[in-house]
Structure 1
Amino acid sequence: MWVKTLGLDKPVIAVTMGDPAGSGPEITLKALKDQSLFDESKIILVGDLKVFKRALQIVKEEGLEFVEIKKPSEACDAPKKVNIINLDNVELEKLQYGKASSLGGKAAYESIVKSVNYALSKEVHAVVTAPISKESLNLAGYNYPGHTELLAALTGVKDVKMMLVAGAFKVVHVTTHVSLREALNLIKKESVLKTIEVTYNNLVDLFRIPRPKIAVSGLNPHAGESGLFGREEIDEIAPAIKESNLKGIDASGPYPPDTIFYRAYYNKQFDAVIAMLHDQGHIAMKMVGFMEGVNLSLGLPIIRTSPDHGTVWGKAGKGTGSESATLEAIKLAISLSKKKFNLEK
């Protein structure tokens, strides 16, 4: 049963602080200048108030005012009133912009844990995570390859897939944060089939696409050229596609990697593309959605989005980082929350 807070007609969205030495706090506040976010949702920042106050001085977003609350049910949705749950866990004098540290990693981790727990306890509809530093996390003793793996551990899920979104263009990866050599060994029928199924289920359940068309990329040049350049397409990928078809999923391929993304993005022939490798999917996405790409985690028991970029160390403390991807991440979290929880007017 949802708590009383979520009986309202607006989604409640928790936004994490990210690494306090990065651009996350600044670009989050820059994104909040978009009035539509306040019209469509209740935004709650989860992090250190001192960090956000300093970020506000840097970006000079006039009119924004912080409202400190103790729990999500106290959130207001008044224009330019920014709710914040103050974790008070950063010593600013010990923090250096653009530099990884155990202090930054610990603060970022605590913000994520608090936000995820709010989602698991059904006090917020979705979580938007600001960029973190993997180095900072590890310095703080939290040894995770990235956000996705950390979120999987916090929610008790083993298999989470990364979907990149830029408008109608969606890419899901079979493998992500492993070496290329290891990734090649992970391209198996079972892993490809699982990715197809998770993609299909989320396109139907979250995006409300009744019968999505899914394209599956090959691994080798020209999708193996009938086995001349490798047998993964024949032995692993094609059988996975065939089995998904038997389950009623409209998946096709394997297609040559150098053309399928063009067909999906420019010709709009598919609702999503399954990429075999991290860079295979990321390069395609960032060529067309570098400034507004969003990462959506598939397989978690919560809705989680994030901007598809890192901490932007070089612009931290300067207020010059682009807020486009963060804005799109918040908008996607709002849209998916409305669909999932029947909050659409």
Structure 2
Amino acid sequence: MSTPLPTLAITCGEPAGVGPELVATLAHHSVAAHPVAIGDRELILARAEACGHAIGVRDWVPGAPRASGVLDVLHVPLARASTAGKLDVANATHVLAILDSAIDGCMQGRFDAIVTAPLHKGVINDAGVPFTGHTEYLAERTGTPQVVMMLAGGGLRVALATTHLALKDVPTALTAESLATTIRILHCDLHTRFGLAAPRILVAGLNPHAGESGHMGREEIDVITPVLDALRAEGMALIGPLPADTLFTPHQLERGDAVLAMYHDQGLPVLKYASFGGGVNITLGLPIIRTSVDHGTALDLAGSGRADPGSLYAAIGCAVDMVAAQRRMGA
């Protein structure tokens, strides 16, 4: 018996941004999955028309096969009609309702993974709803105490030990407990969701030259190395701490399956240079699979038909691969 194609929840994100029109292109995109758009049916159709895409839309019926040129939609109505490029706080609840529908469907087994188009954190907060971002919202809704942000593209996988923090706050946030948990999550998901039997992780140091034996900082000596030694004793293949300025060289990269950077701008500039427009943001540690585009709402491009769907297609392809690996591993 053949394995059924994965069913993916594709959220449209901010209605004033490029999400709806990018999602609309899936009606004609060939992928080894059944994508289901979650958003306002009429908005998707209108944006497709404005961008010159001739598509059909229909309400999603679980189990029904895909139809050529037709996008299956789980309809979540707008609170107020949306204009491309113009944010409206009235639709903040609509954006969260889209995300809730995707999460609930995934947790209930109706979807195999979630792929998210970009949302706008500012407009949600302006509506009076405290909101840090997709990742934090997913963690809270699924009851996950700690997640790990990883971006993939250009032949690289780069995970982060800390995420959106001021540089001055990184050393304090980098504790032995948090670092050990991050590495455990990264190692586990590389195994269960990427199919790597024995993942090899390259770990960056925090300071220049990985601290230069303590002369440029002691975090490598006091925090990073003891954690790596303890986890190596459990059988993990961890290489480092390595100086970040030479970590992203072919000789080093061929030794590992993923890189763990200590902070946001240590690892992501390299990855985005290698893959921007085709990169994928992946949330590790969740009980569900979630991938996302590597760009924002692009309000200036919304409704123009000039937005590139490459990152969305890459995120979908990554989600399909992760579902397949998870099925193989029996996780």
TM-score by length of 2: 0.94
Select 2:230's aligned residue among 243, 246, 263: 243
Amino acid aligned to 1:22: G
Distance 2:302 2:265 in 1: 26
Task: Evaluate the alpha carbon distance shift between residue 87 and residue 102 of structure 1 in structure 2; reply closer, same or farther with a 3 A threshold.
Answer: same
CA shift for structure 1 position 184: 2.4
Select 1:203's aligned residue among 186, 190, 201: 190
Distance 1:192 1:141 in 2: 33
Count the aligned residue pairs: 329
Most deviating of 314-323 and 138-147: 138-147
Select 1:61's aligned residue among 39, 53, 57: 53
Q: Which residue in the other structure is 2:91 paired with?
A: 104
Amino acid aligned to 1:85: L
Q: Does 1:183 align with 2:170?
A: yes
Q: Which residue in the other structure is 1:34 paired with?
A: 29
Q: Which residue in the other structure is 1:52 paired with?
A: 44
Distance 1:81 1:96 in 2: 24
Distance 2:177 2:248 in 1: 23
Select 1:310's aligned residue among 296, 303, 315: 296
**CA deviation profile, 1:57-84 (whole Å, cap 9, x unmatched):** 122223x321113x5x254322222100
Amino acid aligned to 1:52: I
Distance 2:122 2:167 in 1: 20
Aligned Cα RMSD in Å?
2.0
CA shift for structure 1 position 318: 1.0
CA shift for structure 1 position 235: 0.7
Does the 8 Å contact 2:282/2:290 carry over to 1?
A: yes
Q: Which residue in the other structure is 1:120 paired with?
A: 107
CA shift for structure 1 position 257: 1.1
Q: Which residue in the other structure is 1:286 paired with?
A: 272
Q: Which residue in the other structure is 2:70 paired with?
A: 81
Task: Classify the secondary structure of the residue corresponding to 1:341.
Answer: helix
Select 1:319's aligned residue among 305, 315, 327: 305
Amino acid aligned to 1:140: A
Does the 8 Å contact 1:105/1:140 carry over to 2?
A: yes
Structure 2: state its 5+ residue gaps: none
Select 2:210's aligned residue among 223, 234, 254: 223
Does the 8 Å contact 1:75/1:83 carry over to 2?
A: no
Task: Evaluate the alpha carbon distance shift between residue 273 and residue 83 of structure 1 in structure 2; reply closer, same or farther with a 3 A threshold.
Answer: same
Task: Evaluate the alpha carbon distance shift between residue 33 and residue 258 of structure 1 in structure 2; reply closer, same or farther with a 3 A threshold.
Answer: farther
Task: Evaluate the alpha carbon distance shift between residue 142 and residue 342 of structure 1 in structure 2; reply closer, same or farther with a 3 A threshold.
Answer: farther
**CA deviation profile, 1:33-56 (whole Å, cap 9, x unmatched):** 322x1xx11110111012101111
Structure 1: state its 5+ residue gaps: 1-6
Amino acid aligned to 1:176: T
Distance 1:228 1:263 in 2: 28
After TM superposition, the runs of 4+ consecutive aligned structure 1 residues lying more than 6 A away are: none
Select 1:15's aligned residue among 6, 10, 15: 10
Task: Evaluate the alpha carbon distance shift between residue 244 and residue 23 of structure 1 in structure 2; reply closer, same or farther with a 3 A threshold.
Answer: same
CA shift for structure 1 position 9: 1.1
Q: Which residue in the other structure is 2:124 paired with?
A: 137
Task: Classify the secondary structure of the residue corresponding to 2:37.
Answer: strand
Task: Classify the secondary structure of the residue corresponding to 1:15.
Answer: strand
Task: Evaluate the alpha carbon distance shift between residue 167 and residue 77 of structure 1 in structure 2; reply closer, same or farther with a 3 A threshold.
Answer: farther
Q: Does 1:300 align with 2:280?
A: no
CA shift for structure 1 position 10: 0.6
Distance 1:183 1:171 in 2: 17
Task: Classify the secondary structure of the residue corresponding to 1:313.
Answer: coil
Kindly, what percent of the aligned residue pairs are identical?
33
CA shift for structure 1 position 143: 1.4
Does the 8 Å contact 1:126/1:337 carry over to 2?
A: yes
**CA deviation profile, 1:113-134 (whole Å, cap 9, x unmatched):** 0110000001110010110001
TM-score by length of 1: 0.90
Amino acid aligned to 1:331: G
Amino acid aligned to 1:49: R
CA shift for structure 1 position 232: 0.6
Q: Which residue in the other structure is 1:3 paired with?
A: none
Distance 1:176 1:75 in 2: 40
Does the 8 Å contact 1:217/1:257 carry over to 2?
A: yes
